[in-house]
Amino acid sequence: MSIQQFPGFIDIHVHLRQPGATQKEDFFTGSRAAVKGGFTCVLDMPNNPGDPTISLDKLEEKIQLARSARCDIGFYYGTDGNNLDSFPKAATEAYLFGLKLYMEDTTGELLVEDATKIAAIFAAWKSDKPILIHAEGEHIGVAFDLAQSYHRRIHVCHVASWEDLVLVRKAKEKGLSVTCGVTPHHLFLSQTDRTRLGSFAQVMPSIGDTSDQNALWEGVVDGTVDVVESDHAPHTMAEKHTNPPAFGVPGLETTLGLLLLAVHQKRISLETVVKLLYDGPRKIFSIPIQQKTYIELDPVKPFIAGALGYETKCAWSPFDGWELYGQVQTVVLRGKPVVQNAKVI
């Protein structure tokens, strides 16, 4: 097969670390990693440690800092349960694509556990833009009940277990306005890899066993899973060696190649890749079309992850050395080349 053209893909779940942790990543380096990986639009999470996006001023600061980026960057608003008065104004911002609610432990200080606060958040967010939840188990059920009561759209981030996927599937069958995403590391890594990689496979939610992995693939194939989201969460190698280690792995430069590996393995079709990385994200988050924007690659040509180095500032990947498929050769954003011959220019 020869070079094919695709739309610029969309990653709806990245942590570009600026402001607050630019030793890990920033908008310039993270966006270079994005375009090298075939993404021309990414949506940045709000849980920057010590500097979360929970005020209009912080949102505006991020918007200004992101002007250095090589691709389009959108944002989510965060909440600690104490900033509800700012929701109406935040929801109208063109650069904002949803509200992120953390109902489980995670990086940063935005965990909300109090049931009354969680209900108040759902009541106060009156926008049609979705509420994205970091939740597992019974907390997913709580969120679904509130979403139904308040008629809110909800997106479950990084579903990682078969039990949680069943909850999503049942909610969809009941007609709730629910979508979900899975990450490449939950699709492609298992407990064996956790043992082999140690802290370099330590993520939240944790990587499951083969029953979880198989269930996630079933969800991709049957359409329960709406998007693949990288959850690009870079940390320096030193931070991954600390005790306890930082949670998260980079993913912008390997997500597409892994999905094309799945095409090569006949797990999914090329059309499914486009649905997961473009059609699904655009529909769920109402992302505007990028005019004169496309990427080019040969989807059946193998390449070695990391052989050309990494653009992400952390400069490593849990998939380093894997044989992936479809190295991105060209990226054009609104008529301007940003990648040529597999190199960011």
DSSP state, residue 128: S
139/134 Cα distance (integer angstroms): 9
pLDDT at position 123 is: 99
Q: What is the 3-state secondary structure (H, E, C) of 193-230?
A: HHHHHHHHHCCCCCCCCHHHHHHHHHHHHHCCCCEECC
In sign, the C-alpha dihedral spanning 36, 222, 153, 100 is negative
Q: What is the token pair recorded at 201?
A: 């496979």
Q: Which residue has the tokens 């069958």?
A: 173
Element (H, E) at 56: helix 56-65
pLDDT at position 105 is: 82
For residue 244, give the CATH number of its domain: 3.20.20.140
In sign, the C-alpha dihedral spanning 201, 135, 235, 108 is negative
Other C-beta atoms lying within 10 Å of the C-beta of residue 110: 22
pTM of structure: 0.97
Q: List C-alpha distances in Å: 82 to 21, 63, 101, 112, 115.
A: 24, 22, 12, 10, 14
What is the gyration radius of the CA atoms in the chain, in angstroms? 19
CA nearest to 299, candidates 275, 333, 269, 343: 269
How many structural domains are present in the chain? 1
Q: Which domain holds residue 117?
A: 4-344
Q: List the chain pLDDT tens, one digit each, 345 residues.
A: 699 999 999 999 999 999 999 999 999 999 999 999 999 999 999 999 889 999 999 999 999 999 999 999 999 999 999 999 999 999 999 999 999 999 998 877 899 999 999 999 999 999 999 999 999 999 999 999 999 999 999 999 999 999 999 999 999 999 999 999 999 999 999 999 999 999 999 999 999 999 999 999 999 999 999 999 999 999 999 999 999 999 999 999 999 999 999 999 999 999 999 999 999 999 999 999 999 999 999 999 999 999 999 999 999 999 999 999 999 999 999 999 999 999 999
Element (H, E) at 170: helix 162-173
**Which are the contacts of 45, defined by CB distance < 8 A and separation ≥ 6?**
13, 14, 15, 76, 78, 100
